[in-house]
C-alpha cells in the first residue's frame, strides 16, 4: 500500500473510513455503552491505521482488532464501565442498539465482546479468538454462556 497522505493511498484510506466508520462506531458503542467514547475510540483506531498504513495488508481487520483492543483498554481503565450515560441526542443509529446495550451490559466483558464480534461483526470463531487473544473453544464457551444468560434475562 502507498502512504495515505498522497494520491491513491489517500483515496483508499478515505473510502475505508467512509465505509467502516459507522459500523465500527456501533461496535464500539456496544462494547462501551457510551456514544462519545465510541466515537473517540473509532477515531483513534483510524489514526493508528493511518500511522501504520504502509505495513497493514488488510485495513478492515486491522481496524477491527485495534478497536476491540482500544475498547477493552478503555473498559479496564474506567470505573464508569458498570454505569451507562443517560440516553441523549448522542444515540447511535439504528435505535435498537440502545436496547441491545441494556441486555449486553448485564454480561461479563469477555462474553459481551465475543457476542458483538460474532453477531454484529459476523466474524467466525477463529477470527474472534485471534482478536481476543484466546482459543476458539474459549470463544465458543463465552458465546454459549452469554446467550444462555441473555435467554434467562429475557424470559419472563
128 vs 101, residue with greater confidence: 128
**Is residue 79 very low, low, confident or very high in pLDDT (cuts 50, 70, 90)?**
very low
pLDDT (tens digit, 9 = 90+) per residue, 31-44? 888 889 999 999 99
Q: Is the pTM of this model over 0.85?
A: no
pLDDT (tens digit, 9 = 90+) per residue, 48-58? 999 999 899 99
CA dist 26 and 22 (Å) reads 6
Average pLDDT over residues 58-66: 92
From the CB of residue 116, how many other CB atoms can be counted at a distance below 10 Å? 24
- Outline where the chain has alpha helix (H): 7-32, 35-51, 59-77, 96-104, 109-115, 125-132, 136-154
Q: Is the pLDDT of residue 105 over 90?
A: no
Buried b vs exposed e over 66-91: b needs ≥16 C-beta within 10 Å?
A: bbbbbbbebbeeeeeeeeeeeeeeee
Amino acid at each position: 500500500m502507498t502512504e495515505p497522505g498522497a494520491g491513491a493511498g489517500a483515496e483508499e484510506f478515505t473510502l475505508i473510513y467512509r465505509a467502516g466508520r459507522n459500523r465500527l462506531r456501533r461496535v464500539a458503542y456496544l462494547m462501551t455503552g457510551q456514544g462519545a467514547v465510541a466515537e473517540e475510540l473509532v477515531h483513534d483506531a483510524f489514526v493508528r491505521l493511518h500511522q501504520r498504513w504502509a505495513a497493514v495488508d488488510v485495513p478492515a481487520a486491522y481496524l477491527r482488532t485495534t478497536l476491540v483492543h482500544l475498547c477493552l483498554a478503555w473498559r479496564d481503565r474506567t470505573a464508569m464501565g458498570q454505569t451507562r450515560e443517560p440516553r441523549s441526542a448522542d444515540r447511535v443509529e439504528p435505535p435498537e442498539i440502545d436496547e441491545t446495550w441494556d441486555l449486553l451490559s448485564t454480561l461479563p466483558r469477555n462474553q459481551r465482546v465475543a457476542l458483538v464480534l460474532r453477531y454484529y461483526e459476523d466474524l467466525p470463531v477463529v477470527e474472534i479468538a485471534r482478536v481476543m487473544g484466546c482459543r476458539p473453544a474459549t470463544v465458543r464457551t463465552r458465546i454459549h454462556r452469554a446467550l444462555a444468560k441473555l435467554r434467562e434475562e429475557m424470559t419472563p
